[in-house]
Amino acid sequence: MIPVKVREVVLDQVQNPLLLLVDIEESMVLPIGIGFWEAQAIVLKLQGHVPPRPLTHDLFKALCSHLGASVEKVIINDIRKSTFFAEIYLTNSAQQEVVVDARPSDAVALALTVGCPIYITKNVAAYTVSIKDLLEEQKKEPSGFGEPDEGGPHLH
Task: State the pLDDT at residue 146.
Answer: 39
Mean pLDDT of 66-77: 96
Task: Give per-residue pLDDT as tens, 98-145.
Answer: 999 999 999 999 999 999 999 999 999 999 998 777 677 767 765 544
Which residues on adjacent β-strands are paired with residue 8? 20
Contacts of 33 (CB under 8 A, 6+ apart): 12, 16, 17, 18, 19
Task: Give per-residue pLDDT as tens, 57-68.
Answer: 999 999 999 999
Domains defined along the chain, listed by start: 2-140 (3.10.690.10)
